[in-house]
Amino acid sequence: MGSLFSYIGGRISDRFGRKRVAIVGGNSLIPILSFTGLVRSVPGAVATFASGWWSRNFRSPARRALLASAAGPEDRSRAFAFLHSLDVGGGMIATVLVILLLLIRLPLYEIFLFTVPPLVISTLLLVPVRDSGRQAEGGPARRANT
């Protein structure tokens, strides 16, 4: 299902803009994941988690296209390596923090809420990004807005 949301997000970002989809359609909705711990029913928790996770999938193609357009061909591999290292590093830090918060017996619903600020910050960091409109080699031609 995540792949379907990625495909749809990529198609929509080609039409309406990478930055708009990355921020509005994706990144700003990922914090929905953080409210999973507040839901009292299993179906509600699954739906809450899935909607936040699918927002993450939805924004990924637009975010990658923004990065490809911002980095020149000579810097693109380093830019993507840096993006992936931030993703992996953030996941590692989050895991350590969750373990520490569990060890001090913080309730799980409160731990989930601690994930909201980093997600908001990452969304705000996308706001000043400019989409240069430069097309990555081998990528589909960008549609003109008419």
pTM above 0.95, yes or no: no
Q: Let me know: does 127 contact 22? Beta carbons within 8 Å.
A: no
Q: What is the distance between the alpha carbons of residues 60 and 43, in angstroms, rounded to a whole number?
A: 26
* Residue 94 lies inside a defined structural domain of this protein: yes
Residue 121 lies in a domain: yes
Give the pLDDT confidence of 45-58 residue by residue, as tens digits: 999 999 999 998 99
Answer whether residue 53 is part of any domain: yes
Residue 27 maps to a domain = yes
Question: Domain for residue 81, yes or no?
Answer: yes
Query: Cα separation of 64 and 136, whole Å?
Result: 10
Tens-digit pLDDT profile for residues 101-125: 999 999 988 888 888 888 888 888 8
- CB count within 10 Å of CB 31 equals 19
pLDDT at 69 over 70: yes
Q: How many domains does the chain contain in total?
A: 1
Tell me whether residue 104 is in a domain: yes
Q: Is residue 134 part of a domain?
A: no
39 inside domain:
yes
Residue 91 sits in which domain range? 2-126
DSSP state of 38: G
